[in-house]
Structure 1
Amino acid sequence: MQSFRTELENPIVEKDIIELDRKIALFREGKIDEEKFRSLRLARGVYGQRQQGVQMVRIKLPYGRATSAQLRRICKVSEEYSIGRLHITTRQDIQIHYVGLDRTPELWAELERDDVTIREACGNTVRNVTASETAGIDPKEPFDVTPYADATFKYFLRNPVCQEMGRKFKMAFSSSDEDTGLAYMHDLGFIPKIKEVDGQQVRGFKVLLGGGLGSQPRHADLISEFLETDQLIPFIEAVLRIFDRHGERARRNKARIKFLIKDLGIETFLDLVEKEKTALPFKSFSLDFEHEEGKTLPNPPNVEVDSAELGLDFELWKLTNVLEQKQEGYVSIGVRVPLGDFYLDQARPLADLVENYAAGEIRFTLRQNILIRDVREDLIPFFYQELKKINLAQRGYNSLGDITACPGTDTCNLGIASSTGIAVELEKVILEEYPQYLKNQDLVIKISGCMNACGQHNMAHIGFQGMSMRVGKTVFPALQVLLGGGNLGDGNGRFADKVTKIPSKRGPQALRVLLDDFEENRKDLDFLSYYDQQGQMYFYDLLKELADPAGLEDSDRIDWGRDENYEVAVGVGECAGVVIDLVATLLLEAKEKLDLGQESLKENRWSDSLYHHYAGLINAAKALLLSEDISTNSYANIIKLFDENFVENGKIQLAGSFAEKVYQINENEPSEEFAKAYAKQALEVYELLKQYREEEVQA
């Protein structure tokens, strides 16, 4: 541990990494329950793989930004601790695979030397804050949302409010009304707006709440047409506090905020949010970034490349991969990364290229690609030449042939069928048989290996979801075909209809049938209009023959990209699943939270201290309820049940109800006086609960 204990400049990060190392040791010694340890490592970006004994590590890159130095650092870590492959996710993260658990603290420390984190990249936390990759360069944007996304990321990283919620929480910022950040399908989504107030141009956001994909997709509710920027952080914090308190914690498939809003009703939920504002540390949080708009653009040396010698491929590439910027004389270059996988011999030259000839950074995109920004127009041929050298000059960026797919059965525990394998085949079909669609950026194909929709299949024009199908006693890999989803802009979208299920090996033929029918009958309609005109049953009938299991052969049992017969092998998912806590572990954790509260108190962080003490009380109460085999499903439910089962019957004497003591946190402003009083009370209550438990064990 000494190698990174003394070298990191940030003491908070250093402490975090040392704590992970300590918890791994305790887990190895059998002193921490496996389920509890899983929760802890997930919140540190360490995720179990389908393959036993190794981990996937998710690297958290807010809004997908990576500097050249950070990209080189990620390469170094991947080379030393992983297999040299970098995988871009649909949330603008980078994942590396096959990492040994015991080496994760050391890996994390290496990343932090260039300000790269894995903290809260997985688990029941605020996940990576995403944004349109064109933010800051989009000709249609009212202002650059990048600094607002960055401020949101920084404020909630390690924030005690959102460390152990019932489920994960996702936020996104779009750059313009085109909503390329997909605000409508997030827990919280923001679209920038400018409003005139008293003759002044004021910045704000259109706010959407409660969206999500998964097996039950939900369109987010419009909460506000205009939330001023100084209210952004307070509003998010109030929402997170309500979600943390009232969100489901027992039934994982009902634990996202969209289900809480459905149960409470949006008006009741927003009333709770409004009442919570009393307890917030900031009633207004100034985010004044107007001065950051005029950035300095790079001016690299001239490089002479004869574009005529680059041929037709260059001209075709330029049609789809070169994007206009709002900065005159500069463009962005879209780098298509099939399946989001690229390698060290590509990443390192790319880092050098953008450092020497662009802005020294890249953005990983929501469609698993790379965007190089701030390229001087005269350097376009040079960039094509250099990208071609490292096999990153494929045309068709963000086109139909640029398919999004999750890892599926390659590495994910939840994968049911191969998503990457079928994606490769479908891309071949488009390239070889429908090359005209490499210029079509109005049609989107997305693929997920299971219903959790990490590949976002249910918001695509054409979506495929990995499934299985049984024919007699034989199980075949299959695909659910979904049609009619899409982004409509300005916070509006639609989810795809489930049309039919087909054997996986018939996926390419299904795509041919759909594209041939569209080409022949569409007239002047776009795909969504054509789908609406024809209706769901039309497409069911169109694919009916492919869905018929008659005629299946033994070769159809082998999934795409595999050599062996298909078997359903779904493991325990770790997408922030709810854990079963032991009584002793919960009491230990309660004490740890109280200790954190005491540290915050010494550092004059009143709001953090309050929330740590609050969480400690909840954990202690949950421990006692668990000892009586009483099930709980939310923090609010824990408080209510503890009063009913321990206070009202006199088992524990509190001089008042547990609810009265706990709920002071949202009835008072987080002042120094209140924080110290609440901390004193929390320690006293904890000692009572701990004493009760010890007496019960000894009895």
Structure 2
Amino acid sequence: MQSFRDEIENPIVQKEIIDLEKKIYSFRNGQIDDERFRSLRLARGIYGQRQEGVQMIRIKLPYGKVSSEQLKRITEVSDKYSTGRLHITTRQDIQIHYVSLDRTPELWADLAKDDITLREACGNTVRNITGSELAGVDVDEPFDITPYAHGLFQYLLRNPICQEMGRKFKISFSSSEKDSALSYLHDLGFIPKIVNGEKGFKIMLGGGLGSQPSHAELLSEFVPVNQIIPTAEGVIRVFDRHGERAKRLKARLKFLIKDLGRDEFLRLVDEEKKALPFHSYEIETAAFEGPITEPLLAVPSVTIDDVEAFEAWKKSNVIAQKQAGYVAIGIKVSLGDFYTDKARVLADLIKNYGANELRFSLRQNIVIRNIKEENLAFFYQELAKLDFVTLGYNTIGDVTACPGTDTCNLGIASSTGIATELERVLATEYPQYADNTGISIKISGCMNACGQHNMSEIGFQGMSINSGKLVAPALQVLLGGGILGDGKGRFSDKVIKIPSRRGPDALRYILNDFEANANGQSFLNYYDAKGEKYFYDFLLPLSDVTNLTEEDFVDWGNADNYVKAVGVGECAGVVIDLVATLLFEAKDKLTFSHEALQEGKWSDSIYLTYAGFVNGAKALLLAEGQKTNTHAGIIDLFDTVFVETNKIELSSSFKDLVYQINKKEPSEAFAKAYIQEGVAFFENIENYRAKDLANA
């Protein structure tokens, strides 16, 4: 009987899936500890849920693009292994929930049949590269960023430089200076520019959200397109070597840049140039050019009965493309959740009558692109059958929310429940805001900002509040964030904390005051004119916890009294401090380095050898009770603790030995010599470790 693994055409993916099976078996049999296994599965898109014994699977979809075939494959996987619900994330991934760990290799194998990956969707890796959902059709874009986002995605996928960093690393590509992909809050954010006829990017560096949001700094006003991969690789290499690894809350790139300073960080990036495999990298664009794909079938002519509703939909949800005669259709997907029955019909629709492509958006919606204007009536009719013509795409009524306490371990209060209620309030009480795109509402269930609450005009963060006897679910109200464009943005102020049940009233207070006092100003100008204290004062009555009712102790979307239950977060991976595991891993790295060498991948081999050096050194330092916060710190400390004390004899300092990586070009000769030195070093530390244990 043919194994599901045998159906995978790509031998690299087949090997990865077999490896995942082996790791699961080893974990089940106690051969791999829970902490190490968690890191392994996270890097393969497998994330623990709030509910014990099941996993969330994150499907990595670069810049949110899927074909009909890929969407159908995802629906089949969701029906077979999960519940049939698909969740669009704010990073343009698809998540499915309640999956058995033991079935994940088979699930991955099924996805791989249509070139869909789970690889590096979670964990301390380069996460999904996001991009403006209108890239390629945006009337404001200087050129299509899609091939460049795709090229960088392909280059970094499985790349040794970004497999086990101190924390996650996020990259975005905006289609224009409007910066709809939010470059200012990414580790690397790209904005397209044309200078003297040459294509390139403005690059923003070191942004981030979370509990301490940080605005990205300018890396360069203009980097030619053939330099973006060397630039990104240099930044990632420095982050991997110097980034914090022990203190999780300080392990993002933004903290490293703050500690080193921008100039010193960029000096270190410049130092890496000699080590890079490419000093110039031409990205293939031909596959993304050419005429728009014609529909397979003739689009039927239809008659619209409710012309007024059709015209309202066109005004709200249809976007003109830069290609004359074509439009894009925005589908508002409440909370990013939709089901496989509708997804299958949608897949057939875009394949038979469209250009066989849709994109998931950063606001958890769907965009169908390259539809001829004369075919809009037919698409309206067909989408209406799926209940996919709700008005308000990308408006204030299009609330963004993370899963919160529904499934996430870190959730403190419900995000989806309050989001549903706020959308209801907006639809029923504030119809005058139906087309308002100047105010966004975003909600996160905790401080980690997966719902991007702290960069929106109106944001809510899940919290808890103590009434004296009981704990009630609460919301932090944040105001004044937003996108300013061209790499600039602003973060929201934390105004006041209120019981969750009063969230709708807080929205009413804010909108009523905005209507009464804005005098035609934008929301951000109105907020700045009034000042944070003004909003605190008129929201203050909602914060009173002396008059809570029974209802206040039941969170939105729940039937039972609130219980604050926060588990171990996995969204940023874990720190592994086990000596035996690290030695085993160091040996693994040297094995992989040898394989890369045989395949002619000199740079990959060299970086894997480097990782072997560092993991081996870290293992011995941990056995001595030493701190191992960064790769650079490990390298320095190993000399101090072992080499300078003659506990371990090397032909040079450990620092000189390891840092050959950025002193020599990545040639075959160096790769061979470096791995031989790595093997010799590993034998040395293994012998030391054996003697140390024997004398213990």
Q: Would you say same fold, with TM above 0.5? A: yes
1:46 equivalent in structure 2: 46
State whether structure 2 residue 591 is matched by structure 1 residue 595: yes
Partners in 1 of 2:361 and 2:379 — Cα distance? Answer: 19
2:672 equivalent in structure 1: 676
Partners in 2 of 1:381 and 1:458 — Cα distance? Answer: 39
Q: Residue 292 of structure 2 contacts residue 370 of structure 2 at CA under 8 Å; is this kept in 1?
A: no
2:198 equivalent in structure 1: 202
1:557 equivalent in structure 2: 553
State whether structure 2 residue 303 is matched by structure 1 residue 312: no
Partners in 2 of 1:611 and 1:170 — Cα distance? Answer: 21
Q: In the TM superposition, what are the counterparts of 1:65-104 in structure 2 within 5 Å?
A: 65-104=65-104
State whether structure 2 residue 472 is matched by structure 1 residue 496: no
2:300 equivalent in structure 1: 303
Q: In the TM superposition, what are the counterparts of 1:339-418 in structure 2 within 5 Å?
A: 339-418=335-414
Give the secondary structure class of the aligned counterpart of 1:442. Answer: coil
Aligned mate of 1:639, from 635, 653, 665:
635
Q: Residue 5 of structure 2 contacts residue 106 of structure 2 at CA under 8 Å; is this kept in 1?
A: no
Q: Residue 250 of structure 1 contacts residue 578 of structure 1 at CA under 8 Å; is this kept in 2?
A: no
1:59 equivalent in structure 2: 59
Aligned mate of 1:227, from 219, 223, 226:
223
Give the secondary structure class of the aligned counterpart of 2:639. Answer: helix
Q: Residue 58 of structure 1 contacts residue 118 of structure 1 at CA under 8 Å; is this kept in 2?
A: yes
Q: Residue 172 of structure 1 contacts residue 189 of structure 1 at CA under 8 Å; is this kept in 2?
A: yes
Q: Residue 299 of structure 2 contacts residue 378 of structure 2 at CA under 8 Å; is this kept in 1?
A: no
Structure 1 residue 290: deviation in Å?
Answer: 6.9
Q: Residue 243 of structure 2 contacts residue 252 of structure 2 at CA under 8 Å; is this kept in 1?
A: yes
Partners in 1 of 2:5 and 2:589 — Cα distance? Answer: 23
State whether structure 2 residue 182 is matched by structure 1 residue 182: yes
Partners in 2 of 1:88 and 1:495 — Cα distance? Answer: 24
1:609 equivalent in structure 2: 605
Cα separation, partners in 2 of 1:345 and 1:295, compared to 1, 3 Å? same
Give the secondary structure class of the aligned counterpart of 2:3. Answer: helix
Q: Residue 56 of structure 1 contacts residue 97 of structure 1 at CA under 8 Å; is this kept in 2?
A: yes
2:439 equivalent in structure 1: 443
1:10 equivalent in structure 2: 10
Encode CA deviations 1:409-444: one digit per residue, 9 max, x unaligned. Answer: 000000000000000000000000001212111110
Give the secondary structure class of the aligned counterpart of 2:383. Answer: helix
Partners in 2 of 1:136 and 1:315 — Cα distance? Answer: 26
Q: Residue 339 of structure 1 contacts residue 403 of structure 1 at CA under 8 Å; is this kept in 2?
A: yes
Partners in 2 of 1:693 and 1:435 — Cα distance? Answer: 71
Structure 1 residue 655: deviation in Å?
Answer: 2.0
Cα separation, partners in 2 of 1:219 and 1:135, compared to 1, 3 Å? same
Structure 1 residue 2: deviation in Å?
Answer: 5.5
Encode CA deviations 1:242-263: one digit per residue, 9 max, x unaligned. Answer: 0000000000000000000000
Give the secondary structure class of the aligned counterpart of 1:514. Answer: helix
State whether structure 2 residue 327 is matched by structure 1 residue 331: yes
Aligned mate of 2:691, from 674, 692, 695:
695
2:482 equivalent in structure 1: 486
Cα separation, partners in 2 of 1:623 and 1:137, compared to 1, 3 Å? same
2:538 equivalent in structure 1: 542
Give the secondary structure class of the aligned counterpart of 1:476. Answer: strand
2:192 equivalent in structure 1: 192
Give the secondary structure class of the aligned counterpart of 2:450. Answer: coil
627-636 vs 211-220, which moves further? 627-636
Structure 1 residue 656: deviation in Å?
Answer: 1.7
Encode CA deviations 1:475-533: one digit per residue, 9 max, x unaligned. Answer: 01000000000001111100000100010000001101100110111111000000000
2:528 equivalent in structure 1: 532
1:150 equivalent in structure 2: 150
Encode CA deviations 1:313-334: one digit per residue, 9 max, x unaligned. Answer: 2222211100010011110000
Amino acid at match of 2:589: K
Amino acid at match of 2:325: G
Amino acid at match of 1:89: T
Partners in 2 of 1:368 and 1:289 — Cα distance? Answer: 27
Partners in 1 of 2:347 and 2:477 — Cα distance? Answer: 39
Give the secondary structure class of the aligned counterpart of 1:509. Answer: helix
1:629 equivalent in structure 2: 625
Q: Residue 75 of structure 2 contacts residue 344 of structure 2 at CA under 8 Å; is this kept in 1?
A: yes
Partners in 2 of 1:190 and 1:249 — Cα distance? Answer: 26
Encode CA deviations 1:330-389: one digit per residue, 9 max, x unaligned. Answer: 100000000000001110000000111111111000000000001110111111111111
Amino acid at match of 1:524: G
Give the secondary structure class of the aligned counterpart of 1:478. Answer: strand
State whether structure 2 residue 260 is matched by structure 1 residue 264: yes
Give the secondary structure class of the aligned counterpart of 1:52. Answer: coil
The alignment-based identity, stated in percent, is 63
Cα separation, partners in 2 of 1:9 and 1:205, compared to 1, 3 Å? same
Q: Residue 383 of structure 2 contacts residue 389 of structure 2 at CA under 8 Å; is this kept in 1?
A: yes
682-691 vs 576-585, which moves further? 576-585
Partners in 2 of 1:155 and 1:574 — Cα distance? Answer: 25
Encode CA deviations 1:596-646: one digit per residue, 9 max, x unaligned. Answer: 000111111110000001101111111111111112101111111111111
Structure 1 residue 288: deviation in Å?
Answer: 5.2
Partners in 2 of 1:584 and 1:94 — Cα distance? Answer: 36
Q: Residue 298 of structure 1 contacts residue 374 of structure 1 at CA under 8 Å; is this kept in 2?
A: no
Q: Residue 174 of structure 2 contacts residue 190 of structure 2 at CA under 8 Å; is this kept in 1?
A: yes
183-192 vs 290-299, which moves further? 290-299
73-82 vs 387-396, which moves further? 387-396
Q: In the TM superposition, what are the counterparts of 1:87-166 in structure 2 within 5 Å?
A: 87-166=87-166
Structure 1 residue 280: deviation in Å?
Answer: 0.3
Give the secondary structure class of the aligned counterpart of 2:368. Answer: strand
Structure 1 residue 287: deviation in Å?
Answer: 2.2
Encode CA deviations 1:194-246: one digit per residue, 9 max, x unaligned. Answer: 011xxxx1100000000000000001001111100110000000000000000
Give the secondary structure class of the aligned counterpart of 2:272. Answer: helix
Encode CA deviations 1:10-30: one digit per residue, 9 max, x unaligned. Answer: 100100110001000000010
Structure 1 residue 302: deviation in Å?
Answer: 3.5
Amino acid at match of 1:254: K
Give the secondary structure class of the aligned counterpart of 1:502. Answer: strand
Amino acid at match of 1:127: R
Partners in 1 of 2:510 and 2:325 — Cα distance? Answer: 41
1:566 equivalent in structure 2: 562
Deviation >6 Å, runs of 4+ = none
State whether structure 2 residue 447 is matched by structure 1 residue 466: no
Q: Residue 63 of structure 2 contacts residue 131 of structure 2 at CA under 8 Å; is this kept in 1?
A: yes
Partners in 1 of 2:557 and 2:5 — Cα distance? Answer: 43
Q: What is the root-mean-square deviation in Å for CA atoms of aligned residues? A: 1.1
Gaps of 5+ in 2: none
Q: Residue 299 of structure 2 contacts residue 353 of structure 2 at CA under 8 Å; is this kept in 1?
A: no
Number of residue pairs the alignment of both structures matches: 694
Give the secondary structure class of the aligned counterpart of 1:6. Answer: helix
Cα separation, partners in 2 of 1:414 and 1:688, compared to 1, 3 Å? same
Amino acid at match of 2:380: Y
384-393 vs 214-223, which moves further? 384-393
Q: Residue 482 of structure 2 contacts residue 489 of structure 2 at CA under 8 Å; is this kept in 1?
A: yes
Give the secondary structure class of the aligned counterpart of 1:268. Answer: helix
Encode CA deviations 1:652-679: one digit per residue, 9 max, x unaligned. Answer: 0112211110010011100111111111
Give the secondary structure class of the aligned counterpart of 1:109. Answer: helix
Amino acid at match of 1:305: V
Partners in 1 of 2:599 and 2:300 — Cα distance? Answer: 54
Q: Residue 334 of structure 1 contacts residue 369 of structure 1 at CA under 8 Å; is this kept in 2?
A: yes
Partners in 2 of 1:354 and 1:544 — Cα distance? Answer: 50
Amino acid at match of 2:467: V
Partners in 1 of 2:238 and 2:551 — Cα distance? Answer: 52
